[in-house]
Amino acid sequence: MKPYYQDDACTIYHGDCREILPGLPLFDPLLITDPPYGVSEATNRKERGRGNLAECNDFPPVFGDDEPFDPSHLLALNCRMVLFGGNYYADKLPSVPSWIVWDKRDGVTSNDNADCELAWTNAGGPARVYRHLWNGMLKDSERNQRRVHPTQKPVALMAWIIDRFPAHMEIVDPYMGGGSTLVAAKAANRKSIGIEIEERYCEIAARRLAQEVLAL
């Protein structure tokens, strides 16, 4: 498989992760990802789903977000992982105590959007909370940077998650989006692989990573 982008720290593949993952020589990977999980199916007008968020920001709909998510192809890897949105497909995941709660309000008054996001993880240990404001223009980080993906996560959040795992593990994000996981991995001097089915986001992530090269 020919990478879409590659440097000394990161590799990006353009395509369907269900086809690409089985062919990668992964050794003790740490999978961190935010897959499409059917939130755009929501019809409640008071519930602004990810599809509505994309529409409000002139983003195209997230590929695959119009149907329920089946994580079986990820679970088959039998590795440590962190899966955002796991509460939407918890019936398809093993029961665990160690969920991650991202408090995205951090004291700011609630609105129609969710106060937090949940990530399922098989890392073991108790549930953990990470507080980091990420509410439209109110952000604790990346204040002067434009959102590049409708479900974009803060680099700081991904860095906090990565730091909780051993340094030798290679970071893998099979639903890479705009590449925040890879940017965080690179800043932490961690090897990473990203896979994305939409080429526009491969290009965006590649640009972000190339800028990191210049910064380093």
Which DSSP string do the residues of 128-182 spell out, in sequence order? EEEE--EETTEESS-TTS---STT---HHHHHHHHTTS-TTSEEEESS-TT-HHH
Reduced to 3 states (helix: H, G, I; strand: E, B; else coil), residue 91 is helix
pLDDT(67) > 70: yes
pLDDT class of 143 with cuts at 50, 70, 90: confident
List, edge to edge, every strand of the sheet that includes 192-196.
Answer: 5-6, 10-14, 192-196, 170-173, 29-33, 80-84, 116-121, 100-103, 128-131
> What predicted TM-score, i.e. pTM, was given to this entire model?
0.86
Retrieve residue 129's tokens.
């909370």
**pLDDT at residue 97, rounded to an integer:** 94
Phi/psi of residue 190, nearest 5 degrees: -110, 140
Highest mean pLDDT among 66-75, 106-115, 153-162: 153-162
**pLDDT at residue 58, rounded to an integer:** 63
Q: Where are the domains of the chain?
A: 5-215
Q: Distance between CA atoms of 51 and 122, rounded to whole angstroms?
A: 28
**pLDDT at residue 45, rounded to an integer:** 34
pLDDT, tens digit (0-9, with 9 covering 90-100), for 151-185:
899 999 999 999 999 999 999 999 999 999 999 99
**pLDDT at residue 213, rounded to an integer:** 53
pLDDT(147) > 90: no
**pLDDT at residue 155, rounded to an integer:** 96
Query: What architecture does CATH give domain 5-215?
Result: 3-Layer(aba) Sandwich (3.40)
Q: Judging by DSSP bridges, how do beta strands 10-14 and 5-6 pair with one another? A: antiparallel
Q: Distance between CA atoms of 62 and 150, rounded to whole angstroms?
A: 8
